[in-house]
Amino acid sequence: PSHEYKLNFKKSKEVCLSYIQDAMLQKQWKRAAEFLTFYIESLEKDFSTEYMGPSEMIWRIGTEILCHHSNSSMKEFNSFIEQMKTLGVKRYLKVCLEHAFHLLCNGLIDEAYQNLSLAESWRFGEQTIIQNKELKLIQAYRGLLDYYSWCKQKNILLEHGQDGFEDLSVEQEMHSCFRKAAVSLKEIIEIPGVWDLFVKCYVDLLEFYGDHNEARQVLNEYAYNSKFPANPNAHVYLYQFLKRHGESKKSLISALKILHDIVPSHELMIDFNIMLQKSKKRKKRRLGLEVIFAALDYAGWKENVKAWSCLARQVKQIVMSEKHLDWIKQEWNSRKDWWPAFHFSCYLAKRNWQENESLSYEKALVAGILLGKDCKYFKYISHQGCKAQVKRFRILKKFVNKHSPVYLRISS
């Protein structure tokens, strides 16, 4: 009979859980809450060895319900979570972290800070790998909040400093915030991961105190350590740092070159192209053409007027100087079988003309040079432009007609 009882108990537990699940998935939070009050009984004689026991499920389900239930308040949420924290030792840190997230998202920064510092000081036997990770995260988020209060004090000081008035206690508090933030932020960004927020804050701290070498090292490590994922933001932060500190063009270009290699479709590629076009070196201008062509390969750039005008400008330059036509030819070779359908179809000509005149102008210029004056896209746009008596389209038509031999050289 005891076996049967256990079996029945298990079965009714499962049925109850499926009712809860069903209600939650239909957003019937009140109904789910009613069922959950019954499910709490399943904590009794919980000998389950499954990964997710009833206590974890109650935490998860209860949290979710309280987040959506129309009658719940922050007070109840807190008291529920406090009870959940006592239910499982292994889960304690996770529950604390999630609790802090909830408080942060509701604007309760101070409460979140208290919670995080409390969780940080919690010790229980030996920690598992996951618990260790969670603890590091708790410290990092606490450090992040320290950083924000440092910012606040800094702003107070800066404002007051303008008045020629100094407050020692504020300054001291600010420094202590800095120390606390720096220590915990530094710790987590050494572990492989995506730590955009933490890195940015840490670098900001270091820069404020003038430790540029350390900041540069941190950013270099974040961008180039092969144990870290290939995060485009790491390179962007490095580039921005270099730019802020007035580094040479060469180092800026080399930072962006690496970004180009990993993400050819990054929005900084326009800046990169502009920078390269201005360069006096042939090789760099060549790279510029490569960069802008590569960016326009991507679907997300299809209607980007800036990118098209960059390409149009550079192509125009090359055609007028009649030097380096082979650059265009080389770029065009790997694209001529699909760019016409991708960028220069009749359908797109009509749509671009209707939706964005300047886009169609830039594209028509490129199309006219790459595909010749008989290309449908160019013909349609120049015809429409001349019909509408827009001056630049007439000039465009003249330009393309004048340079029509170029097309033959590119396509041969």
Partner 1 sequence: MEFPAALFPSYFGAGPPREEWGPAPAAGWGEHGQVLEAGPGRRQAETAFVPRRGGTGETWEPADAAAVPFLPPNASCWVPSLAPQDILYRGVLRRKLQAGKCEAALDFTKQLGHFFVDHPEDAFGSLGRLLHQNFHLGNSKLRRHARESTIRMTALREEIDRLEARRGCPQQHLVPRLRWFSHLSRDWLFEVPLGLLADCVHEDLLLQWASLLFDDSPTGGALAWLPPKDEGAHTGRLVYPGGQAMNHLYFQDVVLEELPRARGSPAEFELNGRIRQVAAARADGEDFVGVRSDYHCGVWRVPARTGAAPTPLQVIRTSVPASCLTVSPHLPGELAVCTQSGAVYLWNVETGLQRLRHDPQTMFFRDHSPWRWSDFTAHPRVLSCADRTGLQCLDARAPGRCHFDLFKVGEEAGCQQGERVVLPMYLGKAYPSQHLITTQFSVYMLDERLPLVPVLKWAHMMKAPPLFAHLTPGGPDGSHKVLLGSSRTQELLLLQYRGEKWGTGGGSRSACQLAGPPQKLHSIAGCLQHLPAQLPYRHRLLQQRLSAPAAGLAAALQEDGLQESLLVFQLSEAGDVFYQRLTHKAAPPPAPASGDEAAAAPGSSPLFDDPASSPPGLGSEGEEQEEEEQTFYFPQPSPVAALRYRRWLKALSKGCGEPPQHTRPPTFGQKRLFTHKELEEPSGPSALHRQARQRLRQAMRDGGRIQCWDPPAPQPPTLPQVPEPAGDPDPLSARLTAAWSGDCEQWREERTSFNVAQRQQALRERRRRQKRAQGRRSLSASFTSSLTYQSELSELSDAPPPPLSPGRPREVS
CB of 81 to partner 1, least distance (A): 10
Which one of the spans 16-24, 206-214, 276-284, 402-410 is the region binding partner 1 (CB under 8 A)? 16-24
Rounded Cα distance between 54 and 46, Å, is 7
Q: By CB under 8 A, name the one of 9, 12, 16, 60 that touches partner 1.
A: 60
Which one of the spans 2-10, 116-124, 272-280, 330-338 is the region binding partner 1 (CB under 8 A)? 330-338
The interface with partner 1 within residues 366-385 (CB under 8 A) comprises none
Residue 141 zone, left/alpha/beta (φ > 0; ψ -120 to 50; rest): alpha
Please calculate the CA angle 271-272-277 and round it to the nearest 5 degrees.
100
Q: By CB under 8 A, name the one of 15, 105, 183, 320 that touches partner 1.
A: 105
Choose between 61 and 370: whose C-beta lies nearer to partner 1.
61
Binding of residue 101 to partner 1 (CB under 8 A): yes
Choose between 200 and 284: whose C-beta lies nearer to partner 1.
200
Q: By CB under 8 A, name the one of 61, 203, 218, 252 that touches partner 1.
A: 61
Interaction pattern, residues 256-275, with partner 1; x per rule: CB under 8 A: ------xx-xxx--------
Q: By CB under 8 A, name the one of 42, 65, 180, 382 that touches partner 1.
A: 65
The interface with partner 1 within residues 123-182 (CB under 8 A) comprises 133, 137, 140-141, 148
Q: By CB under 8 A, name the one of 42, 55, 57, 407 that touches partner 1.
A: 57
**Token pair recorded at residue 236:** 């962007």
Q: What are the b/e assignments for 312-328, b being 16+ CB within 10 Å?
A: bbbbbebbeeeebbebb
Binding of residue 69 to partner 1 (CB under 8 A): yes
At which residue do the structure tokens 């995506």 appear?
194
The interface with partner 1 within residues 199-258 (CB under 8 A) comprises 200, 227-233, 236
Q: By CB under 8 A, name the one of 16, 109, 305, 390 that touches partner 1.
A: 109
Residue 48 zone, left/alpha/beta (φ > 0; ψ -120 to 50; rest): beta
Binding of residue 79 to partner 1 (CB under 8 A): yes
Q: By CB under 8 A, name the one of 2, 71, 213, 389 that touches partner 1.
A: 71
CA 46 to chain centre: 42
CA distances from 173 to 80, 159, 412 (A): 34, 16, 72
Choose between 88 and 316: whose C-beta lies nearer to partner 1.
88
Q: Are 207 and 150 in contact (CB under 8 A)?
A: no
At which residue do the structure tokens 């206690």 appear?
169
Q: By CB under 8 A, name the one of 183, 197, 320, 395 that touches partner 1.
A: 197
Q: Are 279 and 317 in contact (CB under 8 A)?
A: no
Q: Within the chain, what is the greatest distance between any pair of CA atoms?
A: 98
How crowded is the C-beta side of 44, counted as CA atoms within 13 Å?
9
Binding of residue 111 to partner 1 (CB under 8 A): no
Choose between 31 and 313: whose C-beta lies nearer to partner 1.
31
CB of 46 to partner 1, least distance (A): 15
Rounded Cα distance between 176 and 279, Å, is 46
Size of the site for partner 1 (CB under 8 A): 88
Q: Which of 112, 55, 111, 120 is nearest to 87 (CA)?
A: 55
CA Rg, the chain, in Å? 31
